[in-house]
């Protein structure tokens, strides 16, 4: 069995698309996933699956749609891939503590990545790559001009963001499955 991390976009944010983590665990277990764990309320699920990554994203997305009626973007990462993304961060260790990782549901076109990288925002430092947008919000994510929605419209892909603390915790938890 392989270990995976599913990141769901847009659940339990501002009271919208509320899913209890206990219910989400049961849903994942109904898909025959093992050792299902959730981390905080924002759609981070760790699990083992008897199948390869191909098809997991759609399987989970469809299960959520069938149960709740919502079309939720689902991003599947392996612990190894997540660890590599953290180690590839262009930021220094001090900046890394304040950074966010914006994960793509699918690979954006290279010209869209280039277009995003040409944009500038005061007090927001970011680097868009073919696999992730790394960003540091000097004044906090709540005041950001480069929002997830803005990134999605420029890159033309669904994105979900997690802060460094959450990403680090997911890597640590994945080692306990």
Tens digits of residue pLDDT in 65-78:
999 999 999 999 99
* CA dist., res. 168 & res. 86, Å (int): 8
CATH number reported for the structural domain that contains residue 19 in this entry: 3.30.70.1280
pLDDT tier for residue 16 given thresholds of 50, 70 and 90: confident
Tokens at residue 164, please? Answer: 């460094």
Which domain-ending residue is among 77, 95, 111?
A: 77
From the list 136, 128, 39, the residue with the least C-alpha distance to 97 is: 136
Using an 8 Å Cβ cutoff, are 10 and 152 in contact?
A: no
72 shares a domain with 88: no
Task: Write out the residue range of the structural domain in which residue 105 sits.
Answer: 80-174
Measure Cα distances from 116 to 122, 134, 135, 136 in Å: 15, 12, 12, 15
Helices (H), 31-147: 56-68, 79-87, 93-96, 110-117
**CB-count burial class (<10 Å; 0-12, 13-18, 19+) for 177:** middle
Q: Are residues 165 and 102 in the same domain?
A: yes
Q: Are residues 148 and 163 in the same domain?
A: yes
**Based on the domain organization, do 104 and 49 belong to the same domain?**
no
Does 99 share its domain with 44? Answer: no
**What does the pLDDT read at residue 174?**
96
Residue 14 pLDDT grade (very low, low, confident, very high; cuts 50, 70, 90): low
What is the rounded average pLDDT for all residues in the chain?
93
Shared domain check, 86 and 160: yes
Q: Pick the last residue of a domain from 52, 77, 102.
A: 77
Question: How many distinct structural domains can be found in the chain?
Answer: 2
CA separation for the pair 39, 113 (Å, rounded): 30
Domain end marker among 77, 111, 130: 77
With bands split at pLDDT 50, 70 and 90, how would you rate the model's confidence at 15?
Answer: low
**pLDDT band at residue 11 using 50, 70 and 90 as cut-offs:** confident
Is residue 3 pLDDT above 70, yes or no? yes
């Amino acid at each position: 069995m392989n270990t995976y991390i599913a990141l769901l976009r847009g659940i339990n944010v501002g009271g919208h698309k509320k899913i209890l983590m206990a219910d989400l665990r049961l849903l994942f277990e109904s898909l025959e996933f093992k050792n299902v764990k959730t981390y905080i309320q924002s759609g981070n699920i760790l699990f083992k699956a008897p199948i390869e990554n191909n098809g997991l994203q759609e399987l989970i997305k469809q299960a959520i749609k069938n149960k709740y009626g919502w079309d939720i973007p689902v991003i599947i990462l392996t612990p190894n891939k997540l660890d590599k993304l953290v180690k590839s961060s262009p930021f220094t260790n001090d900046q890394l503590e304040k950074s966010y990782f914006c994960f793509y549901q699918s690979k954006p076109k290279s010209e869209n990545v280039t277009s995003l990288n040409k944009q500038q925002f005061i007090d927001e430092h970011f680097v868009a790559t073919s696999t992730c947008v790394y960003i540091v919000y000097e004044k906090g994510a709540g005041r950001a001009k480069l929002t997830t929605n803005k990134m999605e419209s420029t890159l033309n892909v669904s994105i979900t963001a997690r802060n460094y603390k959450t990403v680090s915790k997911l890597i640590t938890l994945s080692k306990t499955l």
